[in-house]
Structure 1
């Protein structure tokens, strides 16, 4: 008791000798962080770890004369060694890489939350590039990629941790990855959760999968296959709906018409734009000299100058003076090209049109519409997609 009183008296004298100075600016942050530490840290795990460390230390320094049975000490140490299980990070580099390459997207996300080492591996672009190509490669192209780069470039303050960088103790603790409970609480305070790098394939996949990112693409048979858009493909902005596994299409306005919105657009009606040409610009044709009867083509067409261009499916036909015999056909050397749209009935003004092989750019009028650039179809997949969309009834 006397020793306790002397200790308390000495501490009081020492405390009185301290001069009262104002607290440094980071003291307020420490005071706030103390609540987070006590919230995330449990006394039971700490006391348990301390008890285990003390018991192990006591076992190691136990003198031989105080131990009645030396065999017990060896058995305890052996059991401790057996309890140490092998970690995933202990696997060879090639084996771990093969495992991560075979994980689905949700598996990679869960693995990225385990530790900082797995986070760096699971968020690497080469792993997510495969998932992007596998699910989204057919519907996203260079235009969607440019739109994504612009989106992330204009994104401000992507996470609270970025904003706290270099701002006292809060910013310093926010950058300490070994303390995940600090980072999670900072994210909770900021109300902004973004667990992976913004400029990454993982982030792009997440934005596409959740429907938060509207990307440019083209839709076959616009507005649920309206008769005026059969066998056509129009530009639109699309957003994915994971609940129905379909898309919502937002077509650009033209003239006095407002934005047209179409729901429940299926995957088979979407494609990435094959060329980088705006729907309001004329495509410069570079295949006119090689076109011959039987070739499949797409041609730009719009109702009037206020409408955007859409791509319409057609085939190169024979001239009227040609009997269609390939041995005597002279259409290949003619200065004019016949384009046929066989989905329309005979006698329809939309069934045939003639363009110049040498100087074709834009032809038509406000009554029949305007024909623009032409691109030749050479891939079997493109041609089979158009044939699959062929209307059941002949159009007038």
Structure 2
């Protein structure tokens, strides 16, 4: 009998079904569930074997514990939990708390929710943020409690005792440079991170089909963001920004720096591009969507078109009416640099769009009417 039970416990199919069962019960809030209560969907063989295991345990007078599970089974369960459930599980005991704060568990959640808006610049800012927290003046226990208190405000009911329980166990403190600390800081809105916003200021006409750098803060209650834009005149704040208007910066060029264009020789009519534009020399650049057009004397016929061999590249901003001063601009393919004036603004670097998802995104943002 005992050998059969041992063989059953070592079987991967058993732990796969058993971990799914435990996770489903845990998600429903049944924290006091017995290990051997079997759901209806569990295999009959598993139920029979579980009953045999229970008989052996009862004979020996031992109560089963979640920590008695094999390492692989316990890890499988934790990997299936949501962030809120991990925080709840961390309140069970010190051992589970340490396991539930593991970086490899939170990397998946960070990538799943924040991967599309978090870029290398955001990680650099986070490192600077935690470096300031590691200064000697901030290493005392009181300062750590203040910092941790701001993190657990996301799930105040869940993350039970994340601070030091006693002076003899400082290792139970939540490490401020851990991935879970970054996740909770983003979730709570305490950490403002750099990203880019399409059609800034609630789709203001002057910013249609553009994308600008901003500092973002998340509001978990509304699942929206607040943005801070820096400009020469004032700091503009926009609220209630949805996920579909955000993106991680596709290039690492800062907003005040001219982007180095490496695609000019390849541009031809019909290509989709983004080009930097700013109102004046003191303003930051934004990225504006355009399509490469034909030269004035070209009839657009593919068999006769030689536009791609011309040193001048025509860029069309089709959201503006024909004849508008914003409708078209021309850049030099051989010697491109920032061009423009204080009246029409300044055009900077160009990046060619090769991914269909980027092009589709701009098309989704297309305005319902053309502008003058």
**Cα distance per residue 1:236-273 (max 9 Å; x no partner):** 1010011111111001131xx12110111111111111
TM-score relative to the length of structure 1: 0.70
- The match for 1:160 among 113, 133, 141 is 141
Matching residue of 1:197: 175
- Of 118, 136, 146, 1:140 maps to 118
- Partner residue of 2:227 out of 245, 249, 263: 249
Q: Give per-residue Cα distances to partners, 1:182-225, cap 9 Å, x unaligned.
A: 93367xxxxxxx95211111110000000000000111111111
Aligned counterpart, 1:183: 164
The 1:130–1:181 alpha-carbon spacing in structure 2 relative to 1, beyond 3 Å, is: closer
1:257-268 pair list within 5 angstroms:
257-268=233-244
1:85 and 2:63 matched = yes
Question: Could you give the per-residue CA deviations for residues 91-134 of structure 1, whole angstroms, max 9, x where no partner exists?
Answer: 22222222111100011112223233322322121111111111
Judging changes above 3 Å, is the alpha-carbon distance between structure 1 residues 105 and 158 closer, same or farther for their aligned structure 2 residues? farther
CA distance in 2, matches of 1:300, 1:83: 73
1:227 aligns with 2:208: no
Given that 1:232 and 1:311 are in contact with CA atoms closer than 8 Å, whether structure 2 keeps it comes out as yes
1:239 to 188, 197, 217: 217
| Higher radius of gyration, 1 or 2 | 1
Partner residue, 2:154: none
Query: Per-residue displacement from partner, 1:356-387 (whole Å, max 9, x unpaired)?
Result: 11110111011111000000111121111111
State the distance in 1 between where 2:91 and 2:272 align: 51
Aligned-partner SS, 2:108: helix
Equivalent in 163, 169, 186 of residue 208 of structure 1: 186
2:98 is the counterpart of 1:120: yes
| 1:229-378 pair list within 5 angstroms | 229-254=207-232, 257-378=233-354
Whether contact under 8 Å (1:158, 1:198) holds in the other structure is no
Contact 1:234 1:309 survives alignment (8 Å): yes
Which stretches of structure 1, 4 residues or more, deviate above 3 A after TM superposition?
Answer: 78-83, 161-164, 180-186
Alpha-carbon separation, structure 2, partners of 1:262 and 1:202: 28
Q: Distance in 1 between matches of 2:173 and 2:188?
A: 15
Query: 2:57, 2:63 within 8 Å by CA — same for their partners in 1?
Result: no
**Which has more helix, going by share of residues?**
1
Q: Structure 2 CA distance, aligned partners of 1:181 and 1:243? A: 22
Report if the CA contact (8 A) 2:194-2:215 is conserved: yes
SS of 1:154 mapped into structure 2:
helix
Q: Deviations over 1:138-197 (max 9, x none)?
A: 111011111101100011425618989xxxxxxxxxxxxxxx8993367xxxxxxx9521
Contact 1:336 1:356 in 2 (8 A): yes
Q: Residues 365 and 202 of structure 1: is their aligned pair in 2 closer, same or farther, counting only changes over 3 Å?
A: same
1:84 shift after superposition: 2.3
Structure 2 stretches lacking a partner, 5+ long: 1-55, 146-160
User: Match for residue 196 of structure 2?
Assistant: 218
Which runs of no fewer than 5 residues in structure 1 stay unpaired?
1-77, 165-179, 187-193
When normalised by structure 2's length, the TM-score is 0.75
Between 79-88 and 352-361, the greater mean CA deviation after superposition: 79-88
Aligned length: 296
1:383 paired residue number = 359
In 2, Cα distance between equivalents of 1:181 and 1:127: 17
Change (3 A) 1:126 1:85: same
